[in-house]
Structure 1
Amino acid sequence: MRRSTANATRMAGVHTNVDGAPERSASGLGQACAEEICANGGNVAILDMNSEAGAELVARLPKGAARFFECNVLHTDSIAAAVAGTVDWIRETGKPLGGVVPAAGVATPATMLDRNGDALSMDDFDFVINVNLRGTIDLVRQCLVHLAKSEPVDDDGERGVVVMVASSAAFDGQKGQVSYSASKGAVAAMTLPMTRDLARYGIRVVTVAPSLFESRMTAMMSSKVKRSLEGAMEFPRRAGKPEEFAQLVRHCIENIMLNGTVLRLDGGMRMPSKM
């Protein structure tokens, strides 16, 4: 029998991010995902640079349901060590490796030419691309080596799912978001080819593209900027809640027919050119 909705999240997964980023696995959207999965009987390996925040989150989750591993997605060796530790821990839990949620994300706003006519910094551009895009693909590829060797969990031969995080900026980025939009647009664009690459292994790929959500990023916004963005929402006219993001991630895990697609989670929002 295929996994039922009730027990689809009863497996081990990997959630990662990078310290200092707007979104981290130990807070905000990442924390909500970890809580949602653990609340439904799953285990979560939390990969982050902030060991203090990671330890605090593990302590709040059901005992034995989560484990923290220090990880910097800018460095392949750091990812490799965290993945190796995760795989060893997952074997101890007795649950199958069920997937990975690579959510590392940073934003360094800058226009192509600044007010003095100086060009966009390539160092800033490379940093955003390396975290948001390269960090995502590096973590995913290293987890897939193990996921593809796991036993299928149902009669369809499914082994697990990759749930990537893009952004509404992938489709309608604002002024100053060239780097961020490029990185998130690339994540969205590689969803289908990755799906086709992994079909033979019974591994699905889904990408969620959220708009304005309550997070570390929105917490740093001025009230004026936040109101302007909320004004672009159709309904509801508010920022999304972390648990609403986590609910969709859980559905991506549970619904086997979700594959090769990018799901906008944006309240009908289309970003204006500028705020």
Structure 2
Amino acid sequence: MQTANTTAIVTGGASGLGAATAAALAAAGSRVVALDLAAACEAGPSVEGVHYQPTDVTSEEEVRAAVAVASDDPSRPLRIVVNCAGIGPSTRILGRKGVHDLALFRKVVEINLVGSFTVMALAAEAIAQTEPDADGQRGVVINTASIAAFDGQVGQAAYSSSKGGIVGLTLPAARDLAQYGIRVVTIAPGIVETPMLATVSDEFRAGLAAGVPFPQRLARPEEYAKLALAIVDHDYLNGETIRMDGALRMAPR
């Protein structure tokens, strides 16, 4: 699928993986609608070709409004969706302060899993109304899981559950949307140098990097973006989860 003269939605588009992907898609010729919380949109980067749309992915009303913005130019049809929005708090099921905050567990699943599903479903509804290309394609959805979906560590019960849900969603979503010419692929990144790691020391980051077999460093957001664009371009990738982790398998802690 071509990126030029299309519209793309990128959630979490004001920072980290989402910002890198939004910039890469814009550079490849897409009109990008980057969804993020209002404060993030205000503080985030200003990239030519990227429109920042304040959106809470847990709000059906706000997601519908964002999809409408992304669908308002028939000359550049909505073809691409990349879900990067997510949170990753760490809390043990039973800890010194008691049982895992149940509201926090719900919040993580609501943002990471339900939010991704909501954006995918509502965007797919709009994409299905567009004219297919010569190969019958209308679009591609790229969701973001994590290697924590497979190798969840101590304290990652909520995060791993939400990302495991993304992995489990991949194949049935691809099968559901196949009749509309919409592919669904998931990327499961390892440890990426994102704003979530900005507060830790260089020594701690070096320790994380040392655990990666090769390349022995943290991944870069631009590498996620490069893989996302490769998935868009590769028409036969569908219903699959791709690990981007340097062969890392996480230890229990």
Q: TM-score by structure 1 length?
A: 0.87
The counterpart of 1:78, out of the listed 54, 62, 66, is: 62
Q: 2: CA distance between counterparts of 1:123 and 1:51?
A: 23
Q: 2: CA distance between counterparts of 1:171 and 1:42?
A: 33
Q: 1: CA distance between counterparts of 2:143 and 2:40?
A: 25
Offset, 1:242: 1.3
1:194 aligns with 2:173: yes
Counterpart position of 2:23: 35
The counterpart of 1:15, out of the listed 3, 10, 24, is: 10
Counterpart position of 1:115: 96
Question: 1:219 and 1:212, CA in 2 relative to 1: closer, same or farther beyond 3 A?
Answer: same
Q: 2: CA distance between counterparts of 1:101 and 1:52?
A: 17
Offset, 1:56: 5.4
1:136 aligns with 2:116: yes
Offset, 1:223: 3.5
User: Contact (CA 8 Å) 2:139, 2:181: kept in 1 or not?
Assistant: yes
Counterpart position of 1:204: 183
Counterpart position of 2:231: 252
Offset, 1:132: 0.3
Task: Write the letter of the residue equivalent to 1:120.
Answer: H
Note the alpha carbon deviations across 1:86-113, whole angstroms, 9 max, x for none: 222x33xx11211211111101210110
Question: 1:105 and 1:56, CA in 2 relative to 1: closer, same or farther beyond 3 A?
Answer: closer
User: Contact (CA 8 Å) 1:69, 1:86: kept in 2 or not?
Assistant: no
Note the alpha carbon deviations across 1:209-255, whole angstroms, 9 max, x for none: 00111101121334444233212200011111111110000001010
Counterpart position of 2:129: 149
Query: How much identity, in percent, do the aligned residues show?
Result: 38
User: Contact (CA 8 Å) 2:18, 2:85: kept in 1 or not?
Assistant: no
* Equivalences, count: 252
Offset, 1:9: 1.2
Offset, 1:73: 1.2
Structure 1, gaps ≥5 residues long: 18-24
Task: Write the letter of the residue equivalent to 2:246.
Answer: G
Counterpart position of 2:52: 68
Q: 2: CA distance between counterparts of 1:113 and 1:223?
A: 30
Note the alpha carbon deviations across 1:140-183, whole angstroms, 9 max, x for none: 111111101111122x2011100000001001011000000000
Question: 1:54 and 1:13, CA in 2 relative to 1: closer, same or farther beyond 3 A?
Answer: farther
Offset, 1:54: 5.4
Question: 1:157 and 1:13, CA in 2 relative to 1: closer, same or farther beyond 3 A?
Answer: same
Q: 2: CA distance between counterparts of 1:161 and 1:177?
A: 29
Counterparts of 1:253-272 in structure 2 under 5 Å?
Answer: 253-272=232-251
User: Contact (CA 8 Å) 2:14, 2:52: kept in 1 or not?
Assistant: no
Q: 2: CA distance between counterparts of 1:160 and 1:72?
A: 23
Structure 1 counterpart SS, 2:123: helix
Question: 1:224 and 1:178, CA in 2 relative to 1: closer, same or farther beyond 3 A?
Answer: farther
The counterpart of 1:226, out of the listed 202, 205, 218, is: 205
Q: Which runs of 4+ in 1 moved over 6 A?
A: none
Question: 1:34 and 1:110, CA in 2 relative to 1: closer, same or farther beyond 3 A?
Answer: same
